Structure 1
Amino acid sequence: MLRAPKKNVFSAVAAVGFAVAGLTVAAAPAASAAPCTDIDVPVARGTGEPGTLGFIVGDPVFSAVQNRLRPRSVSSYRVDYPADLGEPASVQKGNTDLVDHVRTQAAACPAQRFVLVGYSQGANVVDNSIGISSDGAIVGGPIVATIPADLAPRIAAILLFGNPIRAIGRSVTGTYAGRTKDYCAAGDPICQAGGFNILAHLSYGSNAGDAAAFAASKV
């Protein structure tokens, strides 16, 4: 597979980070997960992405999932990690936090199921958490924690957007493959080797409805 030079892709990642950091958005209310909702939606935002769960992906996708799954109760969780190009262990911190959250919620709420969402660097956080290494991807890193196998049946769906591992020829395989929808917009240099359209990486909010429909089909 043809691969874009890593230096050029890193420049693209930096450009996206600066672009999303420069977006002006109204402050959204802090996401708060009910103790035991039917579905919990942990979201790992993209690099420098503003918004409660992520202005480009997390906020619109969570809203669409919540609307699609009514009358079932749906909560959200903002994965606690830097989402920062300047933090060498950013992905690993997100990986640890996401796995800890799922384990804690699963123990407290035995009937609760999960829809995992990750955008850009956040997609690498989700990749690692389900055992697909993002090491070698432009904003990736080694796996430091994975969701325990006994909790795998409770992961109803996984929604990934602009996933950097795709640019190095990887994808979600194995246990979670059939429950994963992995969006890569045409020309997005973060997920497509040789991609040239950095604006494509900012387009994923348009997939919110389709992503919610996929999640609903798996819950």
Structure 2
Amino acid sequence: MSSPGRLYTSENKRGLSEVGSNACTDIIVIFARGTGEAAPIGDIVGPQLQASLEKSLTSLGKSLTFAGVDYPADLVGYLEGGSMTGSETMAQDASLLFTSSFRLASIVSVGYSQGAQLVHNSAKLLPPEISGRIKAVVTFGDPDKDQKIENIPVQNDDIICHPLDAICFGSELLDILIIIFLENHLDYNLDCDAAAKFITDRV
């Protein structure tokens, strides 16, 4: 059994500034939080997904490192289709892991809300030889839910959107529905156990 991975955060423009002392981590999740959430992993999806994954992976004798993408997560970025600097950082994070001592770990890409936009954008920035090695992709409250995540086999991506989530309806309905239905965008913690199982089955 590998020793436990440690949470690491992004503190510089490149992204992952510290990967800890354990290069034997089995699974590394690169997580992009939603607009307005606190770094590094927000509070709606990130902590619950991390806890769910730790529980399921520990039972399999696998270790987890859960990393937050360093980006502003502001409204401007969301309206632009996802922060471009954040998208570049997420792509750089994945590339760095595949060329470092962590290259044998299983990489998972996850995003919530604007973070889901970053997942889509970063996949487009990665060459197929890198994106093709990402074991699983999960998005929650995805504004780009109708777009395929490039270079990721459909059986390895899970796009989770609640039926009345205004963010998932797209910008045309956003102005009308955001006030009424925003609560349906804020309870994706309820889907974390199922998402953890989806990831665990693929790593």
Q: What is the 5 A alignment of 1:1-219? A: 31-32=7-8, 33-34=19-20, 35-36=22-23, 37-50=25-38, 52-70=40-58, 71-86=61-76, 91-108=83-100, 109-131=102-124, 146-166=125-145, 169-172=146-149, 175-193=152-170, 194=173, 196-219=180-203
Q: 1:94 to 1:51 in 2, by over 3 A?
A: closer
1:174 offset after TM fit, Å?
Answer: 5.4
Gap regions ≥5 residues in structure 1: 1-29, 132-145
CA distance in 1, matches of 2:52, 2:63: 13
Helix, strand or coil for the counterpart of 1:191?
A: helix
1:170 offset after TM fit, Å?
Answer: 2.8
Match of 1:26 in 2: none
The alignment covers a number of residue pairs equal to 174
Q: 1:51 to 1:205 in 2, by over 3 A?
A: farther
Gap regions ≥5 residues in structure 2: 1-5, 9-18
Segment drifting more, 82-91 vs 60-69: 82-91
1:204 offset after TM fit, Å?
Answer: 0.1
Helix, strand or coil for the counterpart of 2:198?
A: helix
Offset from partner CA, 1:71-126 (integer Å, 9 cap, x none): 21110111011000145776111111111111111111221111111000000000
Amino-acid identity (%) = 30
Native 8 Å contact 2:32 2:68 kept in 1: yes
Helix, strand or coil for the counterpart of 1:82?
A: coil
Match of 1:143 in 2: none
Match of 1:137 in 2: none
CA distance in 2, matches of 1:126, 1:175: 11
Q: Please report the RMSD computed on the Cα atoms of aligned residues, expressed in angstroms.
A: 2.1
CA distance in 1, matches of 2:44, 2:108: 18
Helix, strand or coil for the counterpart of 2:28?
A: strand
Q: 1:212 to 1:39 in 2, by over 3 A?
A: same
The 4+ residue runs of structure 1 with deviation greater than 4 A are: 87-90, 193-196
Native 8 Å contact 2:40 2:70 kept in 1: no
AA in 2 matched with 1:79: V
CA distance in 1, matches of 2:31, 2:150: 20
Query: Please, what TM-score do these two structures have when normalized by structure 2?
Result: 0.78
